[in-house]
Amino acid sequence: MAELNRAELNAIELDGVVKEYLSHGEVVQAVKGVTLDIAEGEFFSLLGPSGCGKTTTMRMIAGFEEPSRGVVRLHGADVTNVPPNKRDVNMVFQSYALFPHMNVWDNVAFGLKQRRTPQEEIRRRVGEMLEIVDLGGREKRRPREMSGGQQQRVALARALVNRPRALLLDEPLGALDLKLRQAMQIELKRIQREVGITFVYVTHDQSEALTMSDRIAVMNDGLVEQLGGPREIYEKPASAFVAGFIGTSNLLTGVAAGGVLELGGGRVLVPGRDGEVTVTVRPEKITISLDKPDGDVSVVPGTVGEVVYLGTYNSYAVRLGDGTEVTVFQQNAHDATTTAERGDPVWLSWPAQHSYAIGSRTTP
């Protein structure tokens, strides 16, 4: 029965959590009221620009910061005032903080030895964990004899070997170059799936969050602006801020009548909408053509400005009649008719389902 209840509980709950600091006599609200639930076994990301409050939120989950108001629960228990070492969570930082004088094995075994775990169990658990992070055979190496990616795996193994119920990761891949970071993203997701532990991941890198997360909380200025799965956040941004922060987006604003927004000599279909509306359209959903397309689609005329070749696709900046600039990505597939050039008059078109009308909240 107890097991059943435990499985139903969220791993982490934040309830109206606020964090205020006193800075030069002024109150600074780093986190302005965050409420969210993270399910057991979930890969959950806190995503947002620098200074939005992600690290502070994470540190309140870990217990390194005490909330000014609100409640933090871990597996149903109120831990708001419980110190970090009494919480069943572990944290991994960008600076791996490995012991430089210890080899890989001793770094990973450290926590277990401290807790006087029997020798045999240490051997088994450290061995298993090094296999999971793909470092089997490298037990004798010192941190300085390893690459950044390998060191981060050691740090991960060291945190996971204690079997915390949740692992908190604060920009753990920030120090790695792009290629290694991308490889480690896939690895991290695999490791998380394999160990089945709840991961809470802090990042300002939207592609990183989209790649790995089951759900993402997009934070802005101390608040969660949207909470949802990667696809939902990308396809249906709740605000202009989210649309702009996650990938590239075009924002078209105007007054709709009968589900149609007249714009710069063209029309944008916004089914069911009347009155003032802001529509987001992703650049890869738009087709660029020299002739006016037929059919029941959104169609707007414009003039090609900058054309940038980006390998797998071209990026076009197209200026509409009302001055709005629209970005269009066109795949460089072998049958692509890439004929539009700077100065060309063109037509942009996209099916109605790719126009998404967003809420009214915008970035200040």
Ligand X SMILES: Nc1ncnc2c1ncn2[C@@H]1O[C@H](COP(=O)(O)OP(=O)(O)OP(=O)(O)O)[C@@H](O)[C@H]1O
Q: What is the smallest separation between the CB atom of 45 and ligand X, expressed in angstroms?
A: 12
Given 12, 30, 47, 161, the residue binding ligand X (CB under 6 A): 30
Q: Binding of ligand X at residue 95 (CB under 6 A)?
A: no
Beta strands in the chain (DSSP E): 12-23, 26-38, 43-47, 69-74, 77-78, 89-92, 166-170, 198-203, 215-220, 223-228, 250-257, 260-263, 266-269, 275-281, 287-289, 297-309, 313-320, 325-331, 345-351, 356-358
67 touching ligand X, by CB under 6 A: no
CA distance 208 to 186: 10
Whose Cβ is closer to ligand X: residue 20's or residue 37's?
A: 20
Q: Does residue 56 bind ligand X (CB under 6 A)? A: yes
Q: Which stretch binds ligand X (CB under 6 A): 49-57, 97-105, 115-123, 137-145?
A: 49-57
Q: Among 17, 52, 155, 300, which residue interacts with ligand X (rule: CB under 6 A)?
A: 52
70, 22, 350: which is closest to 223 by C-alpha?
A: 70
Q: What sign does the CA torsion over 198, 203, 206, 207 have?
A: negative
Indicate whether 66 belongs to the interface with ligand X (CB under 6 A): no
Assess 54 for contact with ligand X (CB under 6 A): yes
Q: What is the smallest separation between the CB atom of 340 and ligand X, expressed in angstroms?
A: 39
Among the listed residues 78, 155, 55, 146, the one whose alpha carbon sits nearest the alpha carbon of residue 111: 155
Helix (H, G, I), strand (E, B) or coil at 66: coil
Residue 220 binds to ligand X (criterion: CB under 6 A): no
Residue 206 binding ligand X, by CB under 6 A: no
Size of the site for ligand X (CB under 6 A): 13
How many CA within 13 A on the CB side of residue 338? Answer: 17
Partners of 315 in the β-ladder: 308, 329
**CB nearer ligand X, residue 23 or residue 312:** 23
360 part of the interface to ligand X, by CB under 6 A: no
SS3 349: strand
Are 317 and 325 a contacting pair, CB within 8 Å?
Answer: yes
Does the protein bind ligand X through residue 114 (CB under 6 A)? no
Q: How far is the CB of 181 from ligand X (least distance, A)?
A: 16
User: Among residues 53, 172, 230, 264, which is the contact residue for ligand X, using CB under 6 A?
Assistant: 53
Output the smallest distance, CB 234 to ligand X, in A.
21
- Looking at residues 4 to 23 of the shown chain, list those that interact with ligand X (rule: CB under 6 A): 21, 23
- Nearest 5°: the CA angle 180, 307, 320 is 120
CB of 50 to ligand X, least distance (A): 3
Show the tokens assigned to 317.
């900046």
Interacting residues toward ligand X by CB under 6 A: 21, 23, 28, 30, 48, 50-56, 204
